[in-house]
Amino acid sequence: MARCPIRDGLLPGGLPYLAVGTGPPLLMLGGLMPEAGIPRGFAWLSAYSSIRPFGAHATAYWINRRSGLPARISMAELAAEHATAIREAFGGEPVDVIGVSTGGSIGLQLAIDHPELVRRLVVASSAGRLAGEGLRSQRELGEVARSGDRRGAFRLLANDLLAPGPLQRLVGAGLWTVGPLLFPHAGDLHDMVATIDAEDDFDVRARLGEVRAPTLVVGGARDRFYERELFVETAELIPGARLLLYPRRGHTTAVADPRFARDVRAFLRVSADAGAEARTAQASGS
């Protein structure tokens, strides 16, 4: 794609973003990061690499959580903050939403509670609930972060995202050592704990039938946070949803796989064409 300036700032209500490209807005709701606010350093590189493939035909925004979250906040309240930002920043027009991991939980809640604001939805490395090992691991991370042990929290992030083995131990030790340098603005992790608590309570299985947006669910068959059955369950409960599972890919490697951007762009394009055909047929019949 042609070189485009990279921008950052705050959406209405204080939601931080990094943006690239031109065209209709596409919002990528990022996963759980140690730092709130506008991404910097390692977080900036991660955010930019995530949205860059979508900047050729859209203004692609990577959205992080805001600072100063209350100690007890629900996923519905987090989604409501995103809904307010979309209404005020984009005139209330529906936008494409890609939710990754924790961002996928917010995206699902947004599509359920505020369906008029979501044009197309991609749920990546996420599902309608956490369960099993993923829920246990995240609760452990929340307790370590709540205790103020930043290094321990960074190590657990690596343990949770990577499969057991030498690489997991190496990255975990590395984050324990240099995590404070990679995420120098992580503060006391209060906002991360609040987000973890909200996701621990998140379960929208009973309401997934209310999702109206064309939806693609993408996951790794070896995801340690979300078992394969959770991806299947989520796709089956959303009317007309498609499911893509990448063999030999995990929680983070599914989204990092080159196929992810290609498949998501194809889904958005096909969904747009189908929507245009439906509107033309409706107009012809009226």
What b/e string do you get for 200-211 counting C-beta neighbours within 10 Å, with b at 16 or more? eebebeeebeeb
> DSSP E strands: which ranges in 76-214?
95-100, 118-124
* Residue 133: per-residue pLDDT: 86
* Residue 2: per-residue pLDDT: 45
Give every CB contact of residue 181 below 8 A, 6+ residues apart in sequence: none
Span of 97-101, 132-136, 186-190, 247-251 with lowest mean pLDDT:
186-190
Summary mean pLDDT of the chain: 86
The radius of gyration of the chain from alpha carbons, rounded to an integer in Å, stands at: 18
Other Cβ atoms less than 10 A from the Cβ of 132: the count is 13
Does 96 reside within a domain? Answer: yes
* Residue 186: per-residue pLDDT: 53
Report the distance separating Cα 222 and Cα 278, nearest Å: 37
Does 84 reside within a domain? Answer: yes
Provide the β-strand partners of residue 10: 16
* Length of the chain counted residue by residue: 286
Q: Is the pLDDT of residue 154 over 80?
A: no
Does 2 reside within a domain? Answer: no
CB 225 within 8 A of CB 130: yes
CB 96 within 8 A of CB 123: no
Report the distance separating Cα 224 and Cα 249, nearest Å: 10
* Residue 278: per-residue pLDDT: 46
pTM value is 0.87
What b/e string do you get for 52-75 counting C-beta neighbours within 10 Å, with b at 16 or more? bbbbeebbbbbbbbbeebeeebeb
Does 108 reside within a domain? Answer: yes
What CATH number does residue 148 fall under? 3.40.50.1820
Residues 171-220 pLDDT 10s:
555 554 555 545 555 556 888 899 999 999 999 999 999 999 999 999 99
Mean pLDDT of 1-9: 74
pLDDT band per the 50, 70, 90 thresholds, residue 113: very high
CB 46 within 8 A of CB 79: no
Give every CB contact of residue 136 below 8 A, 6+ residues apart in sequence: none
What is the CA 58 to chain-centroid distance, rounded? 18
- Three-class SS state of 253: helix
Of the two residues 8 and 159, the one the predictor is more confident about is 8
Does 1 reside within a domain? Answer: no
Report the distance separating Cα 128 and Cα 243, nearest Å: 14
Which DSSP category does 203 fall into?
Answer: B
Q: How many domains does the chain have?
A: 1
Domain limits for position 182: 7-285
The dihedrals phi and psi of 212, each to the nearest 5 degrees, come to: -100, -20
Which helix (H) or strand (E) segment holds residue 242: the answer is strand 242-246
* Residue 169: per-residue pLDDT: 55
